[in-house]
Structure 1
Amino acid sequence: MNQKHQIQYSKIGVLSLAHMLNDLYSNYLPQMLPFLVALTPGFTATRAAILVSAFTITSSLVQPLFGYFLDRQGKRWLVHVGTLWMAIMLSLTGIVHNYGLLVILAALAGLGTAAFHPQASTMVNVLSGDRKAVLLSAFVAFGNFGFALSPLLLVPLFQAYGLQATLVTVVPGIFVAILLLLYAPRNNVLSGANTPFSVVVRSLKSAASELVAIIGVIAIRSLAYTGMLTMLPLYFKSQNLSNIAASHLVTIMLAAGAIGGVIGGFISDFYGRKRLIVGSLVISTPLFFGFLYTQGTLSTIFLAFAGAALLSSFSVTVVAAQEAIPDNKALAAGLTMGFAGGIGGLAVILIGRIGDIWGLTSAVTVIFLLPILAGLIGLFMKSRPAARTQRIAAR
C-alpha cells in the first residue's frame, strides 16, 4: 500500500493531542471571567462578552481565508507556529491590567487557532486512509475534551495563585509546538491542489443553498455554545456557587458534549447527517430547561444530556459541508469550524447586554432557546443518503 494512503495513527495522535490543547486554550478566557469580575470594578457582562468575542471572532472569521490558502498550498508550519502563538498571547492576559490591551491580546491569540484548525483537520483527512469519518470524529472529540478540561485545570490554578499564574500556561504550548514541529506530516504529503479561484467560486455557488443552511445551523449553535461558556460562570457566581463547583458543572457539560460528538458521528452514518443535526438540536432546548428548573443530581444529569445533544452535531456539520463542496475540504472546514462560529461569537455581545439589562437568568433563558432555533434552520439542509447506505450500495 502506498505510504500516502496508509493510516498514520501516530501522527493523527499528535495532531489530536495538539487539538486538545488548542481547544483548552480556546476556552481559556471564560475561566478568567469570575476572577476579573472580583478584581475589576465595573466589569460588566457586556465587557465579558466583548472579551470572549474578540478571541472568537479572530479565531473564526479568518479561518476560511486560511482554508482557501491551504487548499492551494498546504503549509505544515501553521500548526506548530499557531499553537505557540496562541499560548504566548494567552499567557500574558493575566498580567495585563488595561481592559483595551486585554481585548487586543485576546484578538491576537485567536489568530493562532485560526491558523491551526484548517491545516490540522486537513492533515487528519490526508492521514486517515479509508477511515476519515471515524478518525475526524476522534480528532474533534479530543478538541471537545480540551474544552472540558479547561475549567477543571484553570479555575483551581487561578484560585490558588491568582491571574498572574497565566504565565505558566505557556509551558504546555511550547511542548506541543515542539511535538508538532517534529511529528506533523511533511509538505509533500499535503501538496495543495492549486485550484483557480474562479473554480472555487463556482463550487460555492452550486452548493450555496445547502451551505447557507449549514452555516446558519452552526452560527446559532455557536451563539448558544459561546453564550453558555461566557454567561454560565457568571450565572453560577450570581447563584452563590463557588468557582470550583461552577467549573465542575461546566466540565460535566463539555465532557458529555465530547462524548456526544463521537456518538453523533456514528449515528449520522446510519441515519443521515440532517436527521442527526435537526433531532439533536431540537431536544437540546428542553434538556437545558430541565437543568435550569430542577436541583441536585437530576439537574446535573439534565445538563450532561443537554451538552451531549448540543455538541453531537459538531463534527457532523463539518462533514456535511465537506460533502457539499468535496473539492475544497479545507475551505469547508474553515467555513464551518471558523466563519460560522465567528458569526455566533460576534452575536454573543447581545447576550451580554441582555444579562446587564434584564439579568443573567434572562440571558441564560435566551441561550437555552437557541438550539431549537438552530434545529429548525437545519430543516432547510439537503437530505443526503446515510453514509452507511452509500457504502452498501457501492458494494
Structure 2
Amino acid sequence: MSEQSQIKYSKIGVLSLAHMLNDLYSNYLPQLVPFLIILSPNFTVTRAAILVSAFTITSSMVQPFFGYYLDRQGKRWLVYVGTLWMAIMLSLTGIVQNYVVLVILAALAGLGTAAFHPQASTMVNVLSGDRKAVLLSGFIAFGNFGFALSPLLLVPLFQTYGLHATLVTVIPGILVAILLLFFAPRNNVLKGNSVPLSEVLSSLKSSSRELLAIIGVIAVRSLAYTSMLTLLPLYLKSQNLSNIAASHLVTIMLATGAIGGVIGGFISDYYGRKRLIVGSLLLSTPLFFGFLLTEGTLSTIFLALAGAALLSSFSVTIVAAQEAIPNNKALASGLTMGFAGGLGGLAVIVIGRIGDIWGLTSAITITFILPLVAGVIALFMKSHPAARSERLAAR
C-alpha cells in the first residue's frame, strides 16, 4: 500500500471518529428528556418532541445551504468549528431552567452538526479513490455507532451525577475539534466547484423525480427513527423498565443499525440500491411489531434485527442522491443527511402530540408502521444496475 493511500485512510479514520462523536451529540437530547420529565411534571411528551425537533430541524434544514456553499468553496474549518460549537451548546442544556432557552440552545447546537456533515462527507468522498461506497458506509457506520453509544454513556452519567454533569460533556468535543484542526484534509484537496446557481438548479430539475423519491424515503424513515429515539425510552419506562435498562435496549437497536448500515452498503453493490432500500424498509415494520408483541430475549432479538433493517439503507440513500447529481455531492449530502431528515424531525411533534392524547402505545404503533410507508415510496425510485455488475461489465 502506498504512502498516499496510508495518508488517505488515516484522514478518513479521523473524520470517521469525529462523525462518531458528532452523532453521539446528535442523540444527546433524547437521553436528557426522561430526566427533564422527572424534574418537571409540566414537561410533556409534546414538549419533549419539540425540544428534539428544534435540534433536528436546524441540524438538517440548513445542511443543503452549507452543501451548496461547500461545493463552491470547500472550507475545512467548518468540521472542527461545527463540532466544538455543538459540544458547547449541548453542554449547557443541563443547567438551564427555562424551557424556551433550552429549545434555543438545542436549535443553536443543531447548526454545528449542519456545518460538519456536508463538509466531512465530501472530504471522505474526495479521499476515498475508487472505494467511495465502502468507505462512505464505514464513515456512516461510525456515526451510527455514536448514536448507539449515546444512551450507554449519557444515561448513567446523568443518573449518577445529575443534569449538571452535562458540563463535562464538552470535553470530548474540544479534544476532537483539536484533532480535526491538525488532521482534517487541507483546502487544496477540496477544490470547490464554481458552477453557477442556474446550472445547479437545472441539474436538480433534471433529477427531480429521482430526488423527490429519495427525499421522501429519507423523510419518512427519519420520522420513524427520530420518533423511536424520542419515544422509545419513554415507552420502555412506562413498561416499568429502569432508565438504564431502557438505554441498553436503545443501544442494542442503534448498534445493530450501525452494523446493518455497513452490510446494506455491500448488499446494494451486489443487488442494486433500490432493491436494498425497498426490501429492508418493508422488512422493518414486521420486525418492530415482533418486538412489541413478544417478551424477554425474543423481543430483544426482534428489536436488534429491526434496527439493522431500518438503518441498512442509511448510507445507500446518500450514495443514490450523489449519483443523481454527481457534480454537487455536498449538496446531495445536505439534501439527504440534512433537509430530508429535517422534514422527518419536524413531523415528530405530531407523533409526540399523539402520544399525549392517545397514549405512548398508539404513538409507538404508528412509528413502527412508518418504515413500511417509506418502503412503498422507494418503489418510485429508478432501478440502476448494481455497482458490482457495472464494474464486471467494464472489465
SS of 2:327's equivalent in the other structure is: coil
Distance 1:340 1:269 in 2: 23
Matched residue SS, 1:391: helix
Alignment partner, residue 298 of structure 2: 298
How far is 1:193 from its partner?
A: 1.2
Q: Verify the 8 A CA contact 1:273 1:386 in the aligned structure 2.
A: yes
Q: 2:234: which partner in 1?
A: 234
The aligned counterpart of 2:286 is: 286
Report what 1:141 is aligned to: 141
- 1:7 and 1:127 in contact (8 A); partners too: no
CA distance in 1, matches of 2:289, 2:144: 23
Aligned to 1:364: 364
State the partner residue of 1:193: 193
* Cα RMSD, aligned residues only: 1.2
What does 1:194-209 correspond to in 2, within 5 Å?
194-209=194-209
SS where residue 278 of structure 2 aligns? Answer: helix
CA deviation digits over 1:98-130, x for unaligned, max 9?
Answer: 000000000000000000000000000011111
Query: Which residue number corresponds to residue 225 of structure 2?
Result: 225
Shift of the alpha carbon at 1:3? Answer: 8.6
Letter in 2 for 1:16: S
Matched to 1:317, the amino acid is T
- Residue number in structure 2 paired with 1:33: 33
Match of 1:338 in 2: 338
- In the alignment, residue 107 of structure 2 is paired with which amino acid? A
Partner of 1:260: 260
Q: CA deviation at 1:5?
A: 8.0
Distance in 2 (CA, whole Å) between partners of 1:59 and 1:261 is: 21
The CA deviation at 1:7 is 6.5
Q: How does 1:154-173 map to 2 (within 5 A)?
A: 154-173=154-173
Distance between the aligned counterparts of 1:29 and 1:307, measured in 2? 20
Q: Which stretches of structure 1, 4 residues or more, deviate above 4 A after TM superposition?
A: 1-7
2:312 aligned with 1:312: yes
Which residue number corresponds to residue 113 of structure 1?
113
Q: Structure 1 unaligned segments of length 5 or more: list them.
A: none
Partner of 2:381: 381
- Whole-Å separation in 1 of the counterparts to 2:110 and 2:48: 16
Counterpart CA distance in 1 for 2:139 and 2:27 is 17
2:77 equivalent in structure 1: 77
Q: Secondary structure of the residue that 2:97 maps to in structure 1? A: coil
Over 3 Å counting, the alpha-carbon distance change for 1:29 and 1:211 in structure 2 is same
Kindly state the Cα deviation for residue 393 of structure 1 after the two structures are TM-superposed. Answer: 1.2
How far has the Cα of 1:218 moved from its partner? Answer: 0.1
Question: Secondary structure at the residue paired with 2:120?
Answer: helix
Letter in 1 for 2:385: P
Shift of 1:4: 8.0
Aligned residues with identical type, % of pairs: 83
Over residues 25-66 of structure 1, what are the superposed CA-to-partner deviations in whole Å (9 max), with x where a residue is unaligned?
000000011100100121110000000000000000010000
What TM-score do you get using the length of structure 2 for normalisation?
A: 0.99
Q: 1:6 touches 1:127 (CA, 8 Å); kept in 2?
A: no
> TM-score if structure 1 supplies the norm length?
0.99
Residues 363-389 of structure 1: CA distance to partner in whole angstroms, max 9, x if unpaired?
000000000000000000000110001
The unaligned stretches of length 5 or more in structure 2 are none
Number of matched residues? 395
Deviation at 1:298, TM superposition (A): 0.2
| Alignment partners' CA distance in 2, 1:3 and 1:108 | 40
* Letter aligned with residue 368 of structure 2: F
Q: What are the superposed Cα offsets for residues 246-287 of structure 1, whole Å, 9 maximum, x if unpaired?
A: 000000000000000000000000000000000000000000
